[in-house]
Amino acid sequence: MSFVEYGDTIKDGDTAIVFLGHESMFPVKVQHGTVTQTKYGVIRHSTDLIGKKYGSKVTCSKGGWVFILHPTPELWTMNLPHRTQILYSTDISIITMMLELKPGSIVCESGTGSGSLSHALIRTVAPTGHLYTVEFHQQRAEKAREEFREHGVEHLVTVTNQDVCKNGFGVSNVADAVFLDIPSPWEAIGHAKSALKAEGGRICSFSPCIEQVQRTCLAMEEHGFTEINTLEILLRVYNVRTISLQIPDLGKASEDSSSIGFDSSNPSNQGSPCTNLQQGTVQFKSGVPLREMVGHTGYLTFATKS
């Protein structure tokens, strides 16, 4: 199993996603002889998981059922253990696009955190690219190495435990892109410039506060970066629903329908709007926004090495 290569069958040691519903799923490490408890009953790894195809419908001990999904960076983002605040797919998608990443790209990242963005970056640059990720916190760095090894992507990533503001990324003039998610990104702009290739490399800084953005932009300008711009991504989700609305009373609707020879007994006229006039409502499909939406997450500042 690998987060960047699809496998047909579930094997011992794989990380799989147990899907109970759109709002209910969790990761599980498949191990021979182990059981997993769900609200629908027990899943026995040896008989219910190992050897089965990903996407299979598995019946639990209480008669309920779940789906077992192959892990992807998107599913991992929704289910990973949080060691820090993480980036979600809304921001991740624009980051990978604006950094112009593709298979074979070299990327530097700081900090690693819970590895949400890291998995997406690795999948984007695979199979010939590489991610150099720096984490200040030693335990988080060790946990990230362990996860990358379990997820089959350790050959595509190098995890370093150091202070990027003081020691940089450990590479020079090789990176196609640099991503910063640290409290004081302006202190790491010089190291980011050194890590980027000679010309045309892209940089992105994620900051929750506009004051951080201001200082970062000034530092980018001082180090000769061009095309500096900041944006914010807000996601508004719409659900497709059936809506009933009252038809306005426009006067003599029934008389108008009779005057044009409308025959409700005629099958060709069944279900027409005129039929609904007597009921006073009409139903149709519409996109309805959720009552709540995700607000501000952070500002994304992009720039290009001149």
Annotated binding site for S-adenosyl-L-methionine: 114-117, 135, 163, 181
Instruction: For residue 42, list its beta bridge partners.
Output: 37
Would you list which residues are annotated within the binding site?
A: 114-117, 135, 163, 181
Give the whole-angstrom CA distance, residue 100 versus residue 202. 8
Q: Are 113 and 206 in contact (CB under 8 A)?
A: no
Give the whole-angstrom CA distance, residue 96 versus residue 9. 30
Residue 262 exposed, middle or buried by CB count within 10 Å (0-12, 13-18, 19+): middle
Give the whole-angstrom CA distance, residue 256 versus residue 235. 46
Phi-psi region of 208 (alpha: psi -120 to 50; beta: other; left: phi over 0): alpha
Instruction: For residue 241, list its beta bridge partners.
Output: 286
Residue 248 exposed, middle or buried by CB count within 10 Å (0-12, 13-18, 19+): exposed
Give the whole-angstrom CA distance, residue 225 versus residue 304. 5
CA dihedral sign of residues 96, 9, 147, 197: negative
Give the whole-angstrom CA distance, residue 202 versus residue 225. 9
Largest CA distance in the chain: 86
Tokens of 293: 């939406």
